Amino acid sequence: MSMRLVVRYSKGEKVKYISHLDFMRLIQRALRRADIPVAYSQGFNPHPRISFASALAVGVTSQGEYLDILLASSIDPQSLCDRINDKLPEGIRFIESVSIDEKAPSLMSLIERGEYLIKMPGQLFGSQNIVSLINRFLEQEEIIITKVNKRGSRQVDIKEMIHSIDVLDQNPEEVIIRTMISSGSKANLRPEELVRALLDFAGTSSDLELFLQIHRLNLYLPKDGSWVTPVELE
């Protein structure tokens, strides 16, 4: 009897520079080595019925990543985590797993928000009060950024994609914020795009890749008028 599971996993510092494609291959190998009965697609070139809720950018760590797996036979959800953790390298851990309806939509189509912890050097903002700065930033009628992809560049208003920004700490060495932003197929704002817009507003210019630390806390989808994580779909 087949079974569909949603798994929450973490990705730490030691594996944050693995590409998404290599990470997918790593997970598939670990599932085989753990003897997990993953179901395969039909046709000339069968592939495992595994999908990811949202690709994590290279260099970003997370404690709230999600995997959607269809199994050919039923197993205890916690047993899956225990068995595969024995085969995974340090830095990747399956945290929890729940069974969901096989006919439920894909996680990728359901996810709408992501929550992030972002750390930046305090000197970027000088003597500016970060709380006051963010309040003025969010009070703008529109927040325009330039999004660049393979098809070119376009101007996008991201104001409605920013759902909250909270300052957790500010000192001369470090500024830490927690933010909830749109993440998914309907609307998507990358955390580094948010930081770039904030720094532009503050009149600061810097190479983000040299200092920015981003940690994804969780992913969320709407359910019955509230926001829940994918493991709360059960």
SS (H, E, C) 174-205: EEEEEEEEECCCCCCCCHHHHHHHHHHHHCCC
Compute φ and ψ for 219, nearest 5 degrees: -120, 150
Q: How confident is the model at residue 124 (pLDDT cuts 50, 70, 90)?
A: confident
| Gap between the Cα atoms of 19 and 78, Å rounded | 27
Residue 209 pLDDT greater than 90, yes or no: no
Q: Which two tokens stand for residue 110?
A: 């359901």
| Gap between the Cα atoms of 44 and 55, Å rounded | 27
Percent of the chain residues past pLDDT 70, beyond the cut: 97
Q: Please compute the mean of the pLDDT values over residues 6-15 and round it to a whole number.
A: 96
Higher-confidence position of 47 and 177: 177
- Average pLDDT value for the chain: 92
In the chain, beta strands by DSSP E: 3-11, 50-52, 61-71, 92-100, 113-121, 144-149, 152-157, 162-170, 174-182, 213-223, 226-228
Q: What is the pTM of this model?
A: 0.92
Domains and their CATH numbers in the chain: 3-109 (3.30.70.580), 113-230 (3.30.70.3190)
Check residue 61 and give its pLDDT: 97
Taking alpha carbons only, the member of 48, 42, 14 closest to residue 29 is 48
| Gap between the Cα atoms of 154 and 10, Å rounded | 33
Residue 45 pLDDT greater than 80, yes or no: yes
Higher-confidence position of 207 and 158: 158
Q: How confident is the model at residue 150 (pLDDT cuts 50, 70, 90)?
A: confident
Residue 68 pLDDT greater than 90, yes or no: yes
Rounded to the nearest angstrom, the gap between the alpha carbon of residue 22 and the centroid of all alpha carbons in its chain is 17
Residue 210 pLDDT greater than 70, yes or no: no
Check residue 211 and give its pLDDT: 81
| Gap between the Cα atoms of 129 and 119, Å rounded | 16
41-45, 142-146, 177-181: the lowest-pLDDT one: 41-45
